Amino acid sequence: MSINRRQLLAAAGATPLLSASAALAQGGTVIDITRARTDPIPIAIPDMAGGPLGAQISRVIANNLRSSGLFRPVERAAFIQSPDAAAATPRFQDWRVIGAVALVTGRVQQGGDGLRVEFRLWDVLPEQQALGTAYNASASNWRRIAHIISDDIYKRMLGEDGYFNTRVAYVSETGPRDRRVRRLAIMDQDGENHAFLTDGRFQALSPRFHPNAQQIAFMSYERNEPRVWLFNLQSGRQEPLGSFGGMTLSPRFSPDGRSVVLSAIRGGDANIFVVDLASRRERQLTAAAGLDVSPCFSPDGSQIVFNSDRGGDQQLYVMDAGGGGARRISFGNGRYATPVWSPRGDLIAFTRIARGQFAIGVMRPDGSGERILSEGWAMESPTFAPNGRVLMFYRESQARDARGGGYSARLASIDIAGFNERPIPTPTDATEPSWSPLLG
Amino acid sequence: MATTKPLLAALMAAGLLVACSSTDENAAATGAGGAAGLGGAGGLGSGTVRPGSQEDLVANVGDRVFFDTDRSSIRADQRTVLERQARWLGQYPQVQVMVEGHADERGTREYNLALGQRRANAARDVLVASGASGARVQTISYGKDRPDALGSSEEAWAQNRRAVTVVR
């Protein structure tokens, strides 16, 4: 699949700088992402010209930006200038008076199987074009183009990469709780383009994306031997990873994509191993008594954070990527689990279980600055968006009765500042999300 | 053992408790999965329990042991069940079993998978130490993903922290 991209000249001939605030005019960003809460940026996104597909693209963009919690698409009912007229020449006064700081216009042309989408991002106050790009692709890729444009807008206005052109793999769960059918599923980050990857004959758990987004490591119960397997998204082929004699679980790829770190059980202990993908050779990294599970590399590949009960109850430890030097980093109340390192390197997200409640939180890699983002009956398994700004995880509701009535498992996302928690729609119950890197 | 009380009450209400050939608390706890065993052992059902079958194990020996929260050591009050299982395996040398380790829902999936495996291994170790051949005893873990009791209560969690011996 190819999507071609071409810069469009600024229509007004002005410098392509958005000055929604003084900071932005200096080349800075509108939002200080370290702030706990911020007013979302009002942005007008009228339907692109060129028929129904234009409208659909605009709605995907608006939905993406709204879901971030950092933008507020202006109500369509408030629009003064018609979308088609705005696509030709924006009358900035009409957009300024309805409170829009930025305006997104565009035009869609379809010919044969091809699609050309021109889009412009306008800075309403100084009346300047901030971005102008044309995309050419096959018509079936219209959603991808909408996500790429969303990322363009996000990056131009916030100064950091977006995360909309991404997918999410997760475990789809159906059936009664004591006989659940668990299948790998995949979808766009907004829930669209949903597909099942495995057929449910064998339980599949813990999908994790390769850094090239073409492969998924997961845990399969095929042949009643729970082991880590690899799933190739292009060919659909599955294969077991390595030849471990006992159960292997909780896989994650290294940042360079050349190896998988996982937990393997031999005798009474679970230890961390790394498996080289080319040679399939394994190397043992931990040997302490107890259960070492859920390892995750730092984004520079130099360290591994994992979860261990070696000290009595579950806590988080960081060690060198070659093994050794393990030091405990979690010291709050309760048990800590499922650590995952932010792609930005600055934070580790985790599950905490304390006082009968589960919580999702973040801390710095040295264990300082712990913050709880969301708390409830049961939630776990955080995964970072590729820009490190948003976490997805899953929540379970408490069974109301002895037959398990009222139980459910659903995905949710939250800003790492602890606001904008929202449900992620899935066709079935869902657990263990894995957020892909940005797609090409 | 508090966790067996609701079950005992249910069995008594149904007039089935007399069907249990063994009336100690562990055997009673196994009754949940042993409808066929109840019928066979007490003669209430249509057929008889085939010796060396899962129903036989459930009804006459006890198919499972229970664990404390986050622990995988075999409790003193559970050890006799495994010792009886080992003797039973000695009676039926052709039988192969899978010990399935489980956890309650109050932990993360990955940790509970490891915990369930450690519980299954601990149960197998007692079986082998009590005379069962290790080659006949396989293990697997389902973590928190196959609960037996479906509620969200202390009683349900105690029932779910278990290792179940299943005839293959």
The domain spans of chain A are 4-158, 168-435
The SS3 call for residue B77 is helix
The residue type of A246 is G
The answer to whether B118 contacts A432, with C-beta atoms less than 8 Å apart, is: no
Which residues in chain B are contacts of A433 at CB distance < 8 A?
A: none
C-alpha dihedral (A261, A234, A201, B119), degrees to nearest 10: 0
CATH fold of A168-435: Neuraminidase (2.120.10)
Give the predicted TM-score (pTM) of the model.
0.88
Query: In this structure, are strands A71-73 and A41-44 parallel, antiparallel, or unpaired?
Result: parallel
| Structural domain spans, chain B | 49-167
- What is residue A113's predicted lDDT score, i.e. its pLDDT? 85
Which of A206, A269, A335 has its CB closest to that of B110? A206
Exposure pattern of B78-100 as b/e (b: 16+ CB <10 Å)? beebbbbbbebbeebeebebbbb
Is the Cβ of A245 closer than 8 Å to some Cβ of chain B? Answer: no
The Cα B89–Cα B36 span in angstroms is 20
CATH fold of A4-158: Rossmann fold (3.40.50)
CA angle A211–A212–A217, rounded 5-degree value: 65
Contact A44, A92 (CB under 8 A): no
Question: B25: part of which helix (H) or strand (E)?
Answer: helix B25-30
The answer to whether A338 contacts B148, with C-beta atoms less than 8 Å apart, is: no
For chain B, residues with pLDDT lower than 50 are: 1-46
Is the Cβ of A175 closer than 8 Å to some Cβ of chain B? Answer: no
Count the neighbouring beta carbons within 10 Å of the beta carbon of residue A309: 22
Which of A178, A335, A380 has its CB closest to that of B147? A178
* Token pair 């044309």 in the structure block, residue: A134
Test mutation, A173, A174, A178, chain B, max B CBs within 10 A: A178
The Cα A261–Cα A283 span in angstroms is 9
- What is residue A10's predicted lDDT score, i.e. its pLDDT? 57
Question: B28: part of which helix (H) or strand (E)?
Answer: helix B25-30
The answer to whether A180 contacts B149, with C-beta atoms less than 8 Å apart, is: no
Residues in chain B: 168
The answer to whether A265 contacts B151, with C-beta atoms less than 8 Å apart, is: no
Which of B109, B111, B113 has its CB closest to that of A314? B111
Sign of the C-alpha dihedral computed for residues A412, A413, A417 and A420 taken in this order = negative
For chain A, residues with pLDDT lower than 70 are: 1, 9-38
The Cα A431–Cα A409 span in angstroms is 6
* Token pair 């392509």 in the structure block, residue: A16
Nearest chain B CA: its distance from A401 CA (Å): 5
What is the ipTM score, two decimals?
0.92
Determine phi and psi for A44, rounding to 5 degrees. -95, 130
Which of A267, A353, A407 has its CB closest to that of B121? A267
pLDDT digits over A21-49, tens only? 333 334 444 444 444 456 899 999 999 99
Superfamily of domain B49-167: OmpA-like domain (3.30.1330.60)
